Amino acid sequence: MEPTVQASSAVTPATTPPGTVSSSGSEAENQSKLKTLLGILRRFIGVTDIASVRFSLPSQLLEPVPNLEYWNYLDRPETFASIGDAEDELGRFLGVLRFWFTKDLKFIKGKPCKPYNSTLGEFFRCSWDVQETLPPLNSESRPSSRKSATSKTTTTSTKTSARVSFLTEQTSHHPPVSAFYIDCPEKGISANGYDQISAKFTGTAIKVTPGVHNLGIFITLHNRGDESYQLTHPVAQLGGLIRGTLTVYVEDFCFITCRKNKIRCILQYLGDSWIGKAKHRVEGVIYRYDNDEEAEYEQIKKVPAKKILAKIDGSWISKLYYTLTGSSEKHVLIDLDPLLPIQKECPPREVQLPNESRRMWEGVSEAIHAKDYSRATQLKCDIEERQREKAAARVEKKTEWKPRFFEDMSERIGQPHLSEAGKEALKGLNAGDYKLDEYELN
């Protein structure tokens, strides 16, 4: 029931909750870890995708958090629950953007880290009870002098509660791919997708790109005629290895598209400039398109001015603004400065299954928090060896592994389908009923 990232707090091994990224260790210790990591990574210079290479990091270089728990997009679940509340198309699109800029808050408020590698069939589930959702964003384009008091944008939250549930399962080990599903039944909103990254070490940084199965996040508003949005991920770089301070850099384009309403957004993340421009800047346009060619624009400058509905600018680690066409007034899209990741609610330990992330890795996590790295490494190796034995047994028996909670990946590219077991598990999460039947994981 703890956030994946704590902005600042000392870790006490005996009391550290599961799923917590450690913030312990002196600066010298952390720099020593990064030097060790850099030495390992240098062996992979020129390797196309180190994410798919079979190698195991020593436990002292890992953070005590399972990969499936770490990779979720719900650091601020109230932004997700509020997406469909606006009555107009542009207002809902702005709600999607508000969610987009909070989904990686863990990297902004915490530190990038290396979680455990997920095992085939491992799964994680949690939920959030959102007590206050956010109001729709103002999408009326009128000069400030003509606005009445009633048309002023509201920035406070509203007293509308909703439960947001998250289910994810490792559906492939080579390459490593996980499927996820997010559900908010009170608001009629769901999202799904595949998480897969491709990573390449450049010599000074790790370049991270979406894998072939990762086509982004797919959001559906069921109460709006199944209005759907596809949100693609930009390329990111993890730098600071040589300096000893890890930092995430983004310099790329990404796209958000609603095909039903023919509205699209191009976001450009701008790199750090040597001439002194502000860091971590992003700019973009929301525009309406009429044909397939316009729906494939990849640069902001390609979009005709008459098609633009709003412009986006700001810092993706601080404050984001939007300006509606026909007005020069900037509106706050989201202010990230006061925000921290929200606590998640996980099933009690006694009802978790053996292949559920926190239970599977709890011994390793406890040992890392206690800085007993020898024991952590041994427990980690035991888990990995069991996986190799199961894989060898499948080859010998000529049996094909299938996920429990999701359909096979080949059934739907980019968007995983829940299996009947997945639907039941999600239904239980939404109701606060965590009981699942145990099953043999071959």
Tens digit of pLDDT per residue, the chain (442 long)? 333 333 322 333 344 566 666 555 566 666 666 667 777 777 667 677 777 666 667 788 888 999 999 989 999 999 999 999 999 999 999 999 999 999 989 989 887 788 999 999 999 999 999 998 899 999 886 443 333 333 333 444 556 789 999 999 999 988 899 999 999 999 999 999 999 998 888 888 888 999 999 999 999 999 999 999 999 999 998 887 777 777 888 999 999 999 999 999 999 999 765 455 557 999 999 999 999 999 999 999 999 999 999 999 999 999 999 999 999 999 999 999 999 999 999 999 999 999 999 999 999 999 999 999 999 999 999 999 999 999 999 999 998 889 999 998 765 578 999 999 999 999 999 999 999 998 876 6
> Can you give the pLDDT at residue 22?
56
Rg (CA), the chain: 22
Contact 363, 186 (CB under 8 A): no
pLDDT in tens, 339-395: 999 999 999 999 999 999 999 999 999 999 999 999 999 999 999 999 999 999 999
d(CA 297, CA 294): 6
Q: Which helix (H) or strand (E) holds 35?
A: helix 27-41
Q: With contact defined as beta carbons under 8 Å apart, do 323 and 310 qualify?
A: yes
CA torsion 191-189-99-417 (nearest 10°) is: 0
| Token pair listed for 375 | 């024991």
Residue among 344, 334, 324 at smallest CA distance from 96:
334
Q: Which two tokens stand for residue 115?
A: 């979680």
pLDDT of 15 reads 47
Residue written as token pair 């346009």: 285
| pLDDT score recorded for residue 152 | 36
Whether the CB-CB separation of 292 and 262 falls below 8 Å is answered with: no
pTM here is 0.88
What residue ranges in 102-176 does DSSP mark as E strands? 123-130, 162-172
Q: What order of strands is seen across the sheet that includes strand 236-239?
A: 197-201, 206-210, 236-239, 247-250
Predicted local confidence at residue 143, as pLDDT = 41
- For residues 75 and 102, the answer to whether their CB atoms sit within 8 Å is yes
Query: Residue 62's pLDDT is what?
Result: 86
Reported as a single tens digit per residue, the pLDDT across 218-274 is 999 999 999 999 999 999 988 877 777 778 889 999 999 999 999 999 999 997 654
Residue 228, SS3?
A: strand
What pLDDT score was predicted for residue 153? Answer: 39
